[in-house]
Amino acid sequence: MQSLPYWRLSGYYFFYFAFIGAFSPYFGLYLQSLSFSAWDIGLLMSQMQLMRLFGPCLWGALADRLARRVPIIRLAGLVSLIGFSAFFFVQSFEAFLVAMALLAFFWSAALPLVETVTFDHLRAEPARYSRIRLWGSVGFIVAVMGTGALLDHLPLPSLLWVIVGSLLGILLYSLAIPEAPVHAHLDAHPPVREILRQPRVRALFGSCFAMSAAHGALYIFYSIYLADHGYSKSLVGGLWSLGVLVEIAVFFYMPRLMRRFGLRNLLLASFVAAVLRFLMIGWGVDWLAVVVFAQVLHGLTFGAYHAASITAVNCWFPGRSQARGQALYSSLSFGAGGLLGGLLSGWMWDGVGAALTYTLSAAFALAGLVLVAAWVRECDVDDVGERAASRVVDVSDSL
């Protein structure tokens, strides 16, 4: 049997999430320094969510047709680097939009395919996934804190070189990743359309859409918001890292939490925490203790929420329908929900202000809470807890 390429896979995850750690918190600040409006920034950054609506499905279908994933992963790494490099030369909003769309379309292709390659390499020991994926969280923390410290002493355009370095690392490790044998799924499965008729499934997807929409202003404008209120870039990076550290802790204890509290209660707690978190961010930004506590709640608003949601999808979409269930989850939540949240926050930021924008985020979370409370019953998820205890949690959509 082929030996596990542990460090090659781990290195890819490290640089993939290092890109997110350098790009998501700080690229909005760079766009602001170029005098783009809040609407322009929201539209540009929302390309990452827009391409996740359909990009992964298109690339996944191509990989299935070719029965090969690694060549597409390598192509995605190369074109993502080329697309981002255009930011060194372009100046107009239209050119930025094209470059961002190119980057997002190819960047969105890679991770779902890397996940399938990783699990095919781990076919006999899937529990080792968490030890590989852990390096992605390490990469994010190193990038977000290191970039923040760097930008406290260097001009903002230095950010471009940091991001290019992370994309170059992605490309180099994509060249090192070996292909894995494709394993067929032989389980019987009901039609996806039939599964989607279930009220619990519609309610879950609706609540996931609402939660991602609630996070739109956070992912695009949070760093700008903190910087405008006098927070240093090092402190901004530290706050982002705090959220991810708590998220990692929640993932580590998630099987135990699911056995004790149940999936429905964790979902309800996650949405209650989201309502509280966004109100605290919107109206308490001048108090560091409030901001710190709001970041600690990221362990619930992303960690527990995502783990519970992805577990429910895996259970409710059995057999070969699981892949399509996860694709729907990603497209409807991080794609459609994230896109709406990003565009609305860009439209509202300059017009009504940050406090009301984050209040809208809290309203989205409240809508998701209502959906879960009304249509996801404990009897729907009684079978989930035991299966979740041994399931490896996929945290690939973090931030």
pLDDT, position 326 = 67
pLDDT average, residue stretch 195-203: 90
Q: How far is the first Cα of the chain from the last one, in angstroms, to the nearest whole number?
A: 36
What pLDDT score was predicted for residue 334? 84
Given a cut of 60, whether residue 352 has pLDDT beyond it is yes
Look at residue 392 in the predicted model and tell me its pLDDT. Answer: 41
Q: Span 44-55, mean pLDDT?
A: 86
User: Pick the residue with more confidence: 37 or 195?
Assistant: 37
Whose structure tokens read 């961010």?
281
Residue 205: its pLDDT value, please? 94
Domain extents for the chain?
A: 1-181, 190-392
Which residue type is seen at 9?
A: L
Q: What was the pLDDT predicted at 189?
A: 61
The predicted pLDDT at position 191 comes to 77
Is residue 57 scored above 90 in pLDDT? Answer: no
SS (H, E, C) the chain: CCCCCHHHHHHHHHHHHHHHHHHHHHHHHHHHHCCCCHHHHHHHHCHHHHHHHHHHHHHHHHHHHHCCCHHHHHHHHHHHHHHHHHHHCCCCHHHHHHHHHHHHHHHHHHHHHHHHHHHHHCCCCHHHHHHHHHHHHHHHHHHHHHHHHHHCCCCCCHHHHHHHHHHHHHHHHHHHCCCCCCCCCCCCCCCHHHHHCCHHHHHHHHHHHHHHHHCHHHHHHHHHHHHHCCCCHHHHHHHHHHHHHHHHHHHHHHHHHHHHHCHHHHHHHHHHHHHHHHHHHHHCCCCHHHHHHHHHCHHHHHHHHHHHHHHHHHHHCCCCHHHHHHHHHHHHHHHHHHHHHHHHHHHHHHHHCHHHHHHHHHHHHHHHHHHHHHHCCHHHCCCHHHHHHCCCCCCCCCC
- In CATH, which superfamily holds the domain spanning 1-181? MFS general substrate transporter like domains (1.20.1250.20)
Rounded CA-CA distance 60/77 in Å is 16
Neighbours of 257 (CB within 10 A): 22
Residue of higher predicted confidence among 165 and 113: 165
Looking at the chain, the whole-number percentage of residues with pLDDT higher than 90 is 54
- 77 or 249, higher pLDDT: 77
CA separation, residue 178 to residues 135, 165, 204, 208 (Å): 18, 22, 36, 34
Q: What is the pLDDT at residue 88? A: 95
Rg of the chain taking only CA atoms, in angstroms = 20
Q: Residue 391 has what pLDDT? A: 44
Question: pLDDT class for 89, splitting at 50, 70, 90?
Answer: very high
Tens-digit pLDDT profile for residues 113-163: 887 787 778 776 655 666 787 788 889 999 999 999 999 889 999 999 999
Query: What pLDDT was estimated at residue 52?
Result: 81
Looking at every residue in the chain, the average pLDDT score rounds to: 85
> Domain 190-392: what homologous superfamily?
MFS general substrate transporter like domains (1.20.1250.20)
Q: Is the separation of the CB atoms in 199 and 332 below 8 Å?
A: no
pLDDT of 261-312, one tens digit each?
A: 888 999 999 999 999 999 999 999 999 999 999 999 998 998 889 878 877 8
Q: Which of 94-103, 193-202, 282-291, 318-327 has the lowest mean pLDDT?
A: 318-327
Choose the most confident range, by mean pLDDT, from 49-53, 56-60, 232-236, 256-260: 232-236
Residue 337 has pLDDT above 50, yes or no: yes
**pLDDT confidence of residue 303:** 85
pLDDT band at 185 (very low <50, low <70, confident <90, very high): low
pLDDT, tens digit (0-9, with 9 covering 90-100), for 99-116: 999 999 998 878 878 877
Give the span between the Cα atoms of 68 and 239, in whole angstroms. Answer: 39
CA distance 358 to 216: 9
- Determine the Cα–Cα distance for residues 365 and 374; give it in Å rounded to an integer: 14
Distance (Å, whole) CA 391 – CA 126: 9
Q: With contact defined as beta carbons under 8 Å apart, do 30 and 155 qualify? A: no
Q: Taking the model in full, what pTM does it have?
A: 0.79
Q: What is the dihedral of CA 174, 180, 186, 190, to 10 degrees?
A: 0
6-26 pLDDT, tens digit each? 889 999 999 999 999 999 999
Cα separation, 209 vs 192, whole angstroms: 19
Q: Specify the pLDDT at position 323.
A: 59
Residues 344/347/348/353 CA torsion (nearest 10 deg): 130
Q: What was the pLDDT predicted at 271?
A: 98
Domains 1-181 and 190-392 equal at CATH topology level:
yes
